[in-house]
Chains A and B, each alone.
Chain A
Amino acid sequence: MKLWKLMVLLFCGSGLLACSSQPTPSLYQQLGGESGIAAITDGLLHQIEHDPLIVNHFRDTDIPRFRDLLAEQLCELSGGPCVYSGATMEESHTGLNLTTRDFDRLVNHLITVMQQRDIPYSAQNRLLALLAPMYSEVVER
């Protein structure tokens, strides 16, 4: 079928199906290891600080502690040598009444920071895929 052939051509042309013999680096490495994750965390805090629609959710937050825990969590999630020592997502977000809009904005801020840091698109998606399931633990609690 003509359309099918065209589709295969498009997909191949985009290089997606090119076989690579290189082993995939761990997500932790792709995010830049400890220093890369520290930079992503700081970038995200900077975005939050400049977003008047969500910054008020952080007015009672101990920011230095939040920063350390977020970096620790991203490190553990991405397969780095860390163990997240903070509260569960449900515990830490209960009572905040976060909305889907807050979550959407945070996701966009994270994407912006990862784009600024030239994190490969596939690594961005790997991290987002790990964070997305937290939606139901975070929003409207």
Chain B
Amino acid sequence: MKFLLLLLLFSSSAVLANSRVIGTGGVTSIEGSAGGGIVPWAVINGYHSTDEWSANSFISRVSVDDFTLNSAGVGVGLNNRWELSYARQQFKLDTIGGQLRQDIVGVKYRLTGELLYTAMPQISIGAQYKRHLDFDLPAAVGARSRDGVDLYLAASKVWLDAIAGRNLLLNATVRATKANQTGLLGFGSDDSNGYKLMFESSAALLLTHHLAVGVEFKQKPNQLAFADEQHWRDIFVAWFINRNLSVTAAYTDLGSIAGLSSQQGWYLSLEGSW
């Protein structure tokens, strides 16, 4: 937060405003970074443009067969260049019993490109610092660390008038991570503490100025010996009601989690932006 205040001080000319085209901030992922639902994109959150800043918040729930993931968070963006975010996740073990919580602080910096305007895709780098709050259980199943840092490089581009007069967004993200189940089962394992490179991607078609449908894929490592970890995927509909409010619904397949296979169910997210 000190960093954020410094940023705002150094750019005291920036005003709270929303000059960007609707939809160009994506939605807020379960980790608090702007993107799709499970993949961070190169987009910067909110609708502020250069010389502007904006703030946003979200709440989301993923309900699959044996688990529920509640996420909530806040973020700010500056100059369509910087994004800072904080999210708290609560992963409820509905069948097993108990809960696992983690905090995620994210920062993202846009390196180059303008999502809508340049031939060069918008490219951003980001980091997510994650800290587990209920580490006893992850430790008991072989996780090495309570906290970890994910680093990612993301490229996003919108092709205007791409398919049947609709605009198409494609995103590709490469993430270096030590996280087990995105950190919900801690970081590293008894016999592995190295970073793994994972590929994540999303495709979205804007059916109107206010409605997008898309798919996402998130590759995941498989480090803990006690149970298999699998890749995640979802299919989503995002409704940008206006620049201040959006709702996203998805059907998601989280694969096997903690020995319970084929975890599928619904994702719902509500977010506000100012």
Binding site for B on A (CB under 8 A): 2-3, 6-7, 10-11, 14, 16-17, 53, 99-101, 103-105, 107-108, 111, 115, 120-123, 125-126, 128-129, 132-133, 135-136
Contacts and interface: CB of A to CB of B under 8 A. Distances in A.
B166 A16 contact: yes
Contacts, number: 84
A7 B207 CA distance: 13
B166 to A, nearest CB: 7
Interface of B: 19-21, 49-52, 80, 114, 116-119, 160-161, 163-167, 205, 207-209, 213, 215, 233-235, 237, 251, 253
A108 B167 CA distance: 16
B32 to A, nearest CB: 24
A125 B237 contact: no
A136 B118 contact: yes
A14 B237 CA distance: 12
Nearest to B80: A100
A115 to B, nearest CB: 8
A108 B21 contact: yes
A135 B161 contact: no
9 contacts: A3-B234, A3-B251, A17-B164, A115-B209, A121-B165, A122-B165, A129-B161, A133-B119, A135-B114
B122 to A, nearest CB: 12
A16 B164 contact: yes
A9 B209 CA distance: 21
B164 A104 contact: no
B163 A100 contact: no
A14 B166 CA distance: 12
Given A101-B51, A104-B20, A133-B119, 10 more contacts: A6-B251, A11-B205, A101-B19, A108-B21, A121-B165, A121-B209, A128-B116, A128-B161, A129-B161, A135-B114
B78 to A, nearest CB: 13
B229 to A, nearest CB: 19
Contacts of A104: 19-21, 49
Contacts of B114: 100, 135
Contact of B161 (A17, A53, A122): A122
Contacts of B160: 125, 128-129, 132
Contact of A101 (B49, B163, B209): B49
Sort A-B residue pairs by CB-CB distance and give the 4 closest, nearest first. Answer: A122-B165, A135-B117, A129-B160, A101-B49
Contact of A107 (B21, B166, B237): B21
Nearest to B233: A3
A111 B164 contact: no
Contacts of B19: 53, 101, 104-105, 108
B117 A103 contact: yes
Contacts of B233: 3
A49 to B, nearest CB: 17
A3 B114 CA distance: 31
